[in-house]
Each structure stands twice: as structure tokens, then as C-alpha cells.
């Protein structure tokens, strides 16, 4: 499969602060590529540069063969953008919004009307098309927000954390929409800080932190970085001292890592079952009450934890 998007050493600086520190990656035509990272990692800045909203400080990228720095108008015709925050006219109806944005992408006449009807069907809002957007629920607004990005049938769709702040049902609908679009051949660049979304959707994942792309590959390739290790997650009381307990866990022979995330301690180990008794004993010795214990298979969260020493939600 050929690359439809190639990023070369992209850098964005704001005075003394470097938001994106020379990232390089490519996206194959027809794949869903996720940029996974915590808030402030540089995901939105990266998408803003790729969508030609912000000029990069240095570096370049090509999308569908067009440079974002030299041919921004051609790039804009090739991409669809679903921004993180809702970007709609709330005093207009869903149909009016879609008509207006379609016109901004050069659609007109019957092709515009037909496409708007198609998109309304795609986002499941045919019945509500004549209602003003301000009367919609958060999930419905999100769907219109996505619909705007689909109007001109872009070659690459950028989706910047499209599920932030919405109910589980709407989230499910959005994830299904993304998968449907991908089945129809659309290439998607999806940013998220939810590990589960990246795992469910992505062909490949790039993990970004502090403006650097620290790992890239398929989920299988990435989880290999933490070996076959499992993660034991202990939830302890709010008044307990998790740092001291995590330090004690590191003394257990089979424990590879022990990290504190709030009132949880993540213990990475080749076999959770084998260290479980030792972990509970250490807690009892310190009089710390364990509320619950989860055992997790190797996942992207563990990869991020392994690479950064922090949890994605930190």
C-alpha cells in the first residue's frame, strides 16, 4: 500500500516552547492511523499543521502528493477536518450548516443537495435536519461536526479527539462511523488519549508525548516492547501512601516495574498470578487496605507506561 500522507521532521515552536519536536511518520492509503497521547502531547498542534491552519516552524508533509507548506489549497481540497471542539453555527439547522460548509468546499446545486442528504443519512440526523443545532444533544452535535468533514468526500479525514465529553452511546456511534468510513476506503488520522479507541480502530498507532513521537507501529508491534508482561492494577484507599508501597513492590523478584497513578499502583510483571500473593503480603505488612485488583493483558496503556513512566491520563 502506498503512503497518502508523509510527515518529515515537522516542528512547531511558540517562542521558547516547542509543541512538536520533529515528528516523522507516514500513513498508508486506506488505513486508520491513531496518534495516541495524553492531553498536551502535541496531537492537536500536529493536526493543525497538517490541515494547513498553522504553518510549521520547519519540516514539511505531503498529503495526496501535495506539500502542506507549498500547496495549502490543494491539501485543503484533499482533507476533511473534524476538530476537537465543535465548530458549527448553532443558530443554523443541521441542513443549513451542511449546505454552508459544502459550499465552502465548492459544492453547489443538486450535487450539494444530494451530498447533504447522504451525509445526513450517514450521521443519522435526517429527521432532525430542520432543527437548529443549538437544540441538539452533545452527541448529535458531534455527529454534525463529523458530517461537515465528510461533505466533499476527502481522501484523508483528520479526526481530533472526536469523542471527548460525550455519552457512551454517542461515542459508540462515532467509533462505528469511523470504522464504516474506513471500510468505504477513507484514510483516517485519528487522535485520542483513550487507549481503548486507538486499540479498537487503528491499523497502526503513533504514541506521542511532549511533542515527540516515541513509538510507532501496529498494536502487536508496540506491545512487544513491554514483552509478554501483564499489568496488575491495585486500587488503594485515598489516605494510603501509594509511593511507598510501589517502592516496596519493586523489591519483589518478578516485578519489572511499579508505577503510581493517583491511588492506583500499576505493577508490570511476566506473570500477574505469580506475584499476586507477594503484592498482597507487602500491602498487609504496611497495613494498607487494597480495595480491588485488576489483571490486564499487555496493551497500549502498558506501552505508554513503559515508555514514559506515566499513565495516559496523567
Partner 1 sequence: MLKTFLIGIKDLRIAFRDRAALIFMLAAPFALTLGMGLVTGRFNGGSSGLSNIPVVIVNLDHEQLGNTLVELFNSEDLADLVEPTSSADPEAARLLVDDDDAAAAIIIPEGFTRSVIPQAGEQATEAKIEVYANPSRPTSAGVIKAIVDEFISRVDEGSVSGQVSIVKLLRSGRITPQEAQAAGTELTQRLNNDPLDGALAIKLNASTADGEALKFDILAYLAPGMALMFLMYTVSYGGRSILTEKAQGTLPRLLVSPTNSMQILGGKVFGIFLTGAAQMLILIGATTLFFNLKWGDSWGVIVLVLAAVFGATGWGMLITALARTPAQVGSIGSAIMLIFGIMGGSFISIENMPAAVQTFSKITPNAWALNGFTTLGLGGTLADLSTPITALLTMGSILFLASVVLFGKKNLVQK
**List of residues contacting partner 1 (CB under 8 A):** 48, 51-54, 73, 76-77, 79, 81, 83, 85-92, 96, 100-101, 103-106, 132, 148
Phi-psi category of residue 55: left, alpha or beta, with phi > 0 → left and psi -120 to 50 → alpha: beta
Of the pair 97, 269, the CB lying nearest partner 1 is at 97
d(CA 145, CA 137): 12
d(CA 72, CA 80): 13
Closest by CA position to 131, among listed 99, 170, 94:
94
Please state the closest distance from residue 91 (CB atom) to partner 1, in A: 5
Please state the closest distance from residue 45 (CB atom) to partner 1, in A: 11
d(CA 160, CA 193): 10
Please state the closest distance from residue 83 (CB atom) to partner 1, in A: 6
Of the pair 142, 282, the CB lying nearest partner 1 is at 142
Of the pair 48, 170, the CB lying nearest partner 1 is at 48
Closest by CA position to 207, among listed 305, 110, 91:
305
Half-sphere exposure for 113 (CA within 13 Å, toward CB):
2
Please state the closest distance from residue 30 (CB atom) to partner 1, in A: 22
Rg (CA), the chain: 22
Of the pair 103, 169, the CB lying nearest partner 1 is at 103
Cell matching residue 145: 461536526
Of the pair 81, 178, the CB lying nearest partner 1 is at 81
Please state the closest distance from residue 169 (CB atom) to partner 1, in A: 24
Closest by CA position to 107, among listed 91, 126, 98:
98
Please state the closest distance from residue 79 (CB atom) to partner 1, in A: 8
Of the pair 46, 269, the CB lying nearest partner 1 is at 46
Amino acid at each position: 500500500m502506498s503512503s497518502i500522507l508523509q510527515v518529515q521532521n515537522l516542528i512547531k515552536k511558540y517562542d521558547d516552547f516547542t509543541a512538536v519536536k520533529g515528528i516523522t511518520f507516514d500513513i498508508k492509503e486506506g488505513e486508520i492511523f491513531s496518534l495516541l497521547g495524553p492531553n498536551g502531547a502535541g496531537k492537536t498542534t500536529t493536526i493543525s499543521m497538517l490541515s494547513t491552519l498553522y504553518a510549521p516552524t520547519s519540516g514539511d508533509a505531503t498529503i495526496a502528493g501535495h506539500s502542506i507548506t507549498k500547496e495549502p489549497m490543494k491539501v485543503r481540497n484533499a482533507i476533511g477536518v473534524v476538530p476537537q471542539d465543535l465548530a458549527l453555527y448553532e443558530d443554523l439547522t443541521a441542513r443549513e450548516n451542511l449546505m454552508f460548509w459544502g459550499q465552502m468546499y465548492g459544492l453547489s446545486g443538486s450535487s450539494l443537495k444530494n451530498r447533504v442528504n447522504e451525509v445526513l443519512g450517514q450521521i443519522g440526523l435526517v429527521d432532525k435536519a430542520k432543527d437548529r443545532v443549538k437544540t441538539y444533544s452533545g452527541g448529535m452535535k458531534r455527529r454534525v461536526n463529523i458530517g461537515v468533514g465528510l461533505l466533499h468526500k476527502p481522501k484523508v479525514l483528520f479526526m481530533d479527539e472526536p469523542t471527548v465529553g460525550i455519552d457512551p452511546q454517542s461515542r459508540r456511534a462515532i467509533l462505528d462511523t469511523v470504522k464504516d468510513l474506513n471500510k468505504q476506503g477513507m484514510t483516517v488520522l485519528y487522535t485520542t488519549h483513550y487507549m481503548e479507541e486507538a486499540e479498537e480502530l487503528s491499523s497502526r498507532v503513533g504514541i506521542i508525548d511532549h511533542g515527540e513521537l516515541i513509538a510507532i507501529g501496529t498494536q502487536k508491534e508496540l506491545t512487544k516492547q513491554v514483552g509478554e508482561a501483564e499489568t496488575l492494577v491495585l486500587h488503594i484507599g485515598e489516605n494510603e501512601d501509594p509511593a511507598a508501597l510501589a517502592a516496596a513492590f519493586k523489591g519483589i523478584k518478578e516485578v519489572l516495574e511499579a508505577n503510581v497513578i493517583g491511588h492506583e499502583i500499576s505493577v508490570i510483571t511476566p506473570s500477574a498470578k505469580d506475584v499476586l500473593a507477594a503484592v498482597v503480603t507487602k500491602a498487609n505488612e504496611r497495613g494498607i487496605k487494597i480495595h480491588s485488583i485488576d489483571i490486564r493483558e499487555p496493551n497500549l496503556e502498558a506501552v505508554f507506561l513503559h515508555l514514559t513512566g506515566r499513565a495516559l491520563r496523567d
